[in-house]
Every structure is written in C-alpha cells, then in structure tokens.
A and B are shown apart, each in its own frame.
Chain A
Amino acid sequence: MKPKEKILSIINGFDRNNDSTFDRVEEIVEIGEPAVPYLIELLYSNDTYHKWAALYALSRIGHEVDRKKQEEIISHVKNLFDDKNPTIRQTAAGIAVGLGEKEGIPILIEYLKSDDTRLLSKPRRSLSSYSISVLRYYTRQNFGYSIYVPMDEREEAIKKWENWWEKNKDSLVWDPNIREYGGYVIKS
C-alpha cells in the first residue's frame, strides 16, 4: 500500500467513541519520510483528529529528515499556531521549537498555565506537562516548575519563564548540533 493510501486508511478508521482506533497512528510514524508530504497536506484538514495524527507523526519523523525538509515542516506547522484547538496549537509549537523555531516558545510558556488535558493523550496528560517537558528539554531551564503542585503554586515559576523569554527572545540561538537553544542569560 502506498504511503498516502495507508495514511488515509488509518485516519479514516478513527472513531472518537473508540479510543484504541487512534493507537494505529504509530503505523504512520513507521512509514517515515515518505509520509511527510501527505502529512503536511493533512495539517490543513478541517478535521481536528486528522490534524492531530499529522502532528503526532511529524513530531517523530521530523527529526529524521534533512534540514531543508525540517524547515518546510516548520513553515507549515507555524500556520497552526493560531488553531482553535489547544492541543493542535501546542503540538505545532512543540514541533517547531524542537526543529529550531523559537517562535513556538511563548505558546508553550502560555500553556504552562493550563492543566487541561491534551487531546487523545494516553495516559491522560495535561497541556502544562507537555509544555514543561519540551521547554526543559530544549532550553535546560525549569525555574522550579512542577506539574505535581496546585496551579497557584506554579505562578512564580511561570513568571520566571515569562521573564526569561522577554529577556532572551532576541538573543536565543538554535544550535543544530546539540539541538538546544543557547545565547540566553541563565539568571532570569
């Protein structure tokens, strides 16, 4: 089966009343780079679940393709920075940040304030949990943030994240060799 056909057969089998049908998204990941053009098409679907599947697979495949293709992926996922669905918006930002596009960072910081659940996460995972994981991974900063304390106890850490971004957004530089951001002032 050709990549596009396989992708279509998988996403057409999604049933929002049957959670396990979404487990097949891993099969799209296994297609690898040949799936990328069709996944980019899916980013523009009106179906939130199709967009979710495309982002899920791109978040994995995107790290295995060359820089040119990565930049193409970035250019498309940036169009979802304004998506009405928080999970779509956040995942798009996460993929962009992981591929070197720092403009996704303030979106991730914004979702540090939300304990709402990410769409189709398994086991359930909050938006804040995803945000702090991605931010921590690519910046090696944490500012005392923990998802295991009530939200009002995280306000100080969130403030530090916001200050850090304001101070360093212009100087942050993506280092593709170590896949991290550098050039920021450590103490916020």
Chain B
Amino acid sequence: MIADIKKNCVRNVPSFILIIFILLFLSNTTFSRTSISTEDCDITVTVNIAFYGDGANQSLIDKWEQEAENLWNGPHGYRIFGYCKCRVHFDFNMKIVSNKDSCPDDYHCIEVKNVPTDNDHRSFVKTGAMPGKGFDKGPYTKRATGEFSNRDDGKVVAHEIGHLMGLDDEYFDFSVDFTINNDGSITINNLIITYPPGMPITDDIRKKVREGIGNLLSRGRVSKGHSYTWNSSSLIPGAMNDSIMGMEPGFNWTATQGHIDQICEETDTECPNKCCCGNGKFDAGREECDPKAIPTGCKDNLYCTSLCKCLPYVIPGHETTTTSTTTTISQKETTTIPKKTTTTLETVVTPRCGDGYLSSPREECDMADHPIYSNWSGAKVYLCPKGKVCVNCKCVQLTPTCGDGWIYRPPNYGLPGVWGEECDPKATPTGCEEGKICTQDCRCESEEKCPDGFYTSEDCEGKCGENEACEFDLETGCYSCVKIACKENSDCGEIIKKRVCYNNDVYEQTIIPICYNPGTPEAECKFRISGISRGGQLLPPLEDCDPGYCLDGQCVGKITTTMEETTTITETTTTTIMTCEDMGMYSSESACDNECDPPDRCVYHEGYECWYCQQVECGEGLYESSNCDGECDPTRGEVCEEYQDTGCYRCVCPDLMVTSISAKVSLSANTHCQDEICKTDCSLSATVEFQIRNIGARAVDASTAQVKLAPAVGTETEAVESLDPGEVSTTKTLYFSRFATVTGSGMVACEQLDWWSSEYTATVIADFENDVAECDEDNNENSVYPSPT
C-alpha cells in the first residue's frame, strides 16, 4: 500500500508540476479586458467592463454602452487610422454582476455608486498597471477597478473608458496664489500642480495659468491690489478643446484623431497597404490603380479592378476584339480638279478616342477629353445612354462595381485577401440565398430591418431635417440622416474681430467663417484667421505693450489702462463691413498672386467678393517633388517638368505624329511605232506633302522622316526641324519620278512595270531613324492612297 502510494506520488509528480505550472500560467494569463484586433481593413478595439453595486442597473449600462460607443465611433460609426484609412471600431461590452468577486476574468471590474441626486461624485478607474503602452501586451492587461456614479452621463463613462484604452487625462488641476498689482500686472506667488501628480511646471503651463488669471481679471472676478488663491484646472498644452480626455467646458467632447492614433500605435496596430484600395485616391507604390479614383491610374484600354489591379477591359459575355487600324477622316474629303484628282487632307482629325468626334462604329461615345486632339472647333462630347459610362470610347457598365448588375467574383474568390462581391442588388437573381438580401455594398445579409435611425429607402422616408441629407451607411447597409454642417457662410457664424496677444503686443485678429462644400454631407465650417501676419511677415501691432506685456488682448503694466476701459476693449465685437484685406483675403487677383505660393492658387470667393489663396495638393499623376519622385521613364523620353505654373510636377515626353499628308501621282504613256513595232514611254511623276506635329508635352529635337511611295516608286527621307509641344512642322514636299520605255502601245504596255499601278500608297514615318525617345513609338506612321491621273 505504502509502496503503491509512493509509486503513485512519484508517477504523479509530473502532473503536480503541470498543475502548478498551469496555475502560475493562469495567474499571468493575458485576459483581453481591453484588446485590439485587425481583420482586413477593419480594426476593432474591444473593452469589457463588468459593473456591480447599488447604482448598477441594466437600463443604465445599456445607455452608457450606447453613448460611449457613439462617442468613440463618431458620427460615421467608425474612426479612421493609418495612411490607407483603415476603419477603427469601438466595441464596449458591459454587463452587470452581483458583486466584485463575480467579475469575469476577462472584464474590468467597476463599482457603481447609487448617488441620490446629481451630487458631486468622484468617478475614476484605477488601471493598476502602467496605462498607455500597448494594453494588449502582458503586463499592461491587469484588470482595472474603479468607481462610477449612477448619475454619470455617457461622456464621463466614455472618458473613463479612454483610460481603459491607455489614454491619460488631458487636463491638469492647479492651485495658484497670485496678486493683481495696482498697475494691473499679475504676480504669481506660488503655483502647484495638484493633478496629475509629478507633472512639471513648464513655461507653457505657467502661460496657461497666467491666461486664466487674465480671464478672471477681464471678467471682474478679481481686482487690483488684492491677492488670491485660485484652484482650477486647464487643458494640458497641445490638447484639443473638444477632447473627451480634456473635458474642456464649452465644447462638445469627442474622441480626437490623436486618441485613435495613440491607441493603434501604442499597440503596434497597422493599417495594411492593401487598404488603400478603393479609397478614391491612387496611391502609387501601394496599388496599381484605384477604381474610385479619377483617373484610376491604369493606362488606356485597362480597367481598374476592385483589387486595385489594372486588367484588360472585358465585359462578361461581350468580348470584343480590338484592332489597331488607323484611318483618317477628313472634314473636307475630296476636291476634284479637272484632269486631276487630288487627295487633300485639311484640318486632319485623327480618329482617336477623346478627339471629340464620334468615329462610329468604332466609338460609341467620346468625352472630347484628349488634350491635343480635342482642340478643334467641331469637337463635341458624345455621352453614353443612362446607366452606362464612357470608357475608352465604349459605353460600358463598369464592372466590377457594386450595383452594376454583375456579380464580380475574381479567381480564388472566398480565400482570405481575395475580394469580390457576394451578390449584386441589381443582378437577377442577386446571388444571395433565400432569406437574405443583397445590400448596397454587395453583401448578403439577413433580411432584417435597419437599426433605429437608419432607413432602407434612399430618401430616409423623408425623415431628414432641413439641415440633413440622406446618405448610405456602409456599416449597416442602410440610409441615415447625416447632418449638414452648413449651407452658407453665415451658418458658420459671424465674422469676429477680437484683440489677442502675440509677441507681447496687442493685435486685432479677424476670424472669418467659411462654409466648405456647402449643403453637402461633407460640408464643414472652417475659419480663416488673419491679423497677425500676412505673407509670412508680421503685421504692425494694434497696440505696442512695451514696456509692459500683453494679457488677454490687453496691455498690462501700462499706467494709463484702467480696469473699466480694458473690459470694454476686450469685448468681442461683430462687424459686417470689412475690406478683403481686413478679412485676410485680397481685393484683386494680382495682389493674391503675389502672396500665394504654388502649388496653392488664388480663388475668387463669391460670398465675400474677394480673392484668397487656396491650398492645392498635387495629385492625379502630378508630383510635389521636382524630380517627380523618380517616376519618369527615360526610355519613353520622359523628364519631370512643372505643370502649368501650378507648383506641381509631371512626367512629360515628346510624341511625333504625321498629322497632315497628301499625295498626287500622275502617269503618262507616250507610244511611238516604227515598222509595226510600237514602243511606249511610261513616265510617273508624284508629289508627297506632309506635316509632322509634336503631340507630346515635351519639346523634341530635329528628326528624320521617311516617305515611301508604293508600289516600287521609291523611298526618300526628309529632315524635320525641332518642335515644341503641340507645334507643327513646316510642310515638307517630296517629288518622285520614274521613266521607262516598254514594247507595246498605250497604257496597257506600261502595266508590266512594277511601279505602274492603278493605286498608290504614300506612307510617311516620323522619326524614322528613332533619333528621339517618345511617349508612344507606335503612332509615327500615316498613309494616304492617291489614285493616279
């Protein structure tokens, strides 16, 4: 028996060690109380919180959960992170437990106090471990405890959840002893930061406190010749006024982009490059193209897939064969001259897509958008029928695009990372199994009603208010009323002039509200602030405070300044009669041009009837660097040049084309007979005239053109001068002649000659010897077919 026990003990030693190991492991296990995960282009931050205590009830925490999620997810239901704009979702899971000991391991544990009225209550969380550094990593996942009040609103809860995601308070509490001297100046006798502990008192902090005292002074809350102790708090320097972690009074608090970035960056979360696909911007180096960008980034005859790859354009079931034959169209096709037929090509328009000419049946549409070819008087836009778009002069349904009636399923569809459409709402059948509907973003979803505040109809069932628009919501697949920030400038407030401190002097600052994208969901109020500097130069101050200094828009330390006078001066005034210059704009375009550095440009503002300098970003094939980011291809003759004085650069190259060609061929046969033997003198004379145009955007050096008259008449070369972009060469004329005497009579006798024909082909090849590198080496040749006379 004893032996058996010993044996079992010995046998069980490994199990015992294993149990100990498991217990040790569990005590250090990383529970996902706050966690972050990435799936494709969606990042989800999850926070689990269990509540207990007298004040906890289900309706309260439901309300908290919704309000806190709404605040963190923002008005669009998600936030954005990273260059490729991944969507960040905040998911807060809140539950009630009976007591502190019942909190699940993977939940933070917070007590809710039952506070009878809206009495003051200190709500807090104690993270127990260093917050703010990668909360998804071992040592930082220690459970938080804390205490809320049942009177706390969703904003307070959202603030505390910010701590659970590693964010710090963005305010500091201070206690300051100060004196308002008889001359109005302020002496700070003692300043203590009472929260957060250990925060250093920097110059910025002192400045914030001094500004606060200045406000007390201007509001008459303190008076000269007295000393005070003031306990208050202020935003930390650099914090946003509307930050939920700063809780600055007078602002509607929300999560800032800085918060989103901090949460993601400190957890080493990344937004993959592939997420740039479909963001409406072609991101070179990260994708071949972007299907929602205009242009997409693909070359001609290629379309951009939803995977941001350029592929040859193929419409399912409508495969087409592309031919590269080139014909010429003449607006004045034939001129008949007695005894001679001359093929004349004037005002030649090459049948090229974008030339503003509908070359039916080859072209189904033409947007007249070619920079060179559309530059003629008859150019028109030929649109497609409704429901189709013009792509490379063909009217097509853009496939794959959600809602085009096609269900796009790329190769390997269904595998991770391979995107496609589950269905298409316009396809019949839609592609969804029974009981599911196809959403507007081509996903199959259970046929459920839209959540509260969302609608299935495009007009939001007429529920949108005057300042709202009905917009599609990608998250829910429903429509919702989206607030329009402004419809006109006056919606953004009035023009405000106020006195401010700068460089210890008083300046008059003007704040002009401007409504950008008015009346659209993208509308936003922005403010132009002027009055301190213009064109990089400091303006003269309104009031020089020397030897005193400026505080809250007034000079202090100046003997002549009285409290009453100062208070009056610092009142914010509103005015509507101002010059353009008063508003930081310009009354003339030339004045604006002088101050506006490219690529920014001067734009006329209808509302204020002034010119202002609008910031311009280079895009759509343009570069901000003068070397075009090294993207130019020298084998195509590309060099990087500034684009139309915009301050943006693009790759340009020359491109030679034979844009005008005409030919005349005359044949003659002269028969003379002797002793019944006839001989005929056969002769040919021909003239070929042509011009060459540089249709590229870069000047081209002198080149050589070749002219060939077939059959068997001859081949000549002709020098062509250097040409600027768009420039046409002088008319080149070449003469050909052939002579031969043959046995026989009449023209029939000449037909034995290889150069005698009823039809000739005159061909001109620009840059025959490939002296210059061009954008397109395949468009140098052109021909006409003169009939001989």
Contacts and interface: CB of A to CB of B under 8 A. Distances in A.
Contacts of A116: 232
Given A23-B124, A60-B116, A147-B249, A119 B156 contact: no
A120 B122 CA distance: 8
A56 B160 contact: no
A152 B572 contact: yes
B511 to A, nearest CB: 13
A123 B169 contact: yes
Interface string B93-130: 00000000000000000000101111110111010000
B247 interface: yes
A179 B122 CA distance: 24
A158 to B, nearest CB: 13
Interface in B173-209: 173, 175, 192, 194-197
B197 A63 contact: no
Nearest to A130: B120
A17 interface: yes
A72 interface: no
Given A16-B194, A17-B192, A26-B147, A63 B116 contact: yes
Which of the listed residues B118, B171, B233, B249 has the most CB atoms from chain A within 10 Å of its own CB?
B249
B230 to A, nearest CB: 8
A137 interface: yes
B64 interface: no
Interface residues of A, number: 47
Contacts of A19: 173, 194-197
Contact of B192 (A16, A59, A115, A121): A16
A122 B116 contact: no
Interface string A68-109: 000000000000000001010001001100100000000000
Contacts of A128: 249
Contact of B171 (A124, A137, A148): A124
Interface string B435-448: 00000000000000
A179 B233 CA distance: 33
B234 to A, nearest CB: 8
Contacts of A123: 123-124, 156, 159-160, 169, 171, 247
Nearest to A122: B122
A147 B250 CA distance: 6
A119 B196 contact: no
Contact of A115 (B117, B123, B175, B249): B249
B735 interface: no
Interface in B518-540: none
A94 to B, nearest CB: 7
Contacts of A134: 117-118
Contact of A98 (B117, B160, B192): B117
A151 B113 contact: no
A157 B123 CA distance: 29
A117 B233 CA distance: 6
Contacts of B249: 115, 126, 128-129, 147
Contacts of B192: 16-17
A122 B124 contact: yes
Contacts of A115: 249-250
A49 to B, nearest CB: 10
Contacts of B160: 123
A5 B173 CA distance: 30
B253 interface: yes
B122 A133 contact: no
Interface of A: 16-20, 22-23, 25-26, 56, 59-60, 63-64, 85, 87, 91, 94-95, 98, 115-126, 128-130, 133-134, 136-138, 147-152, 179
7 contacts: A16-B194, A26-B122, A59-B117, A95-B119, A123-B124, A124-B171, A147-B250
Given A17-B192, A17-B194, A19-B195, 4 more contacts: A115-B250, A121-B122, A123-B124, A152-B572
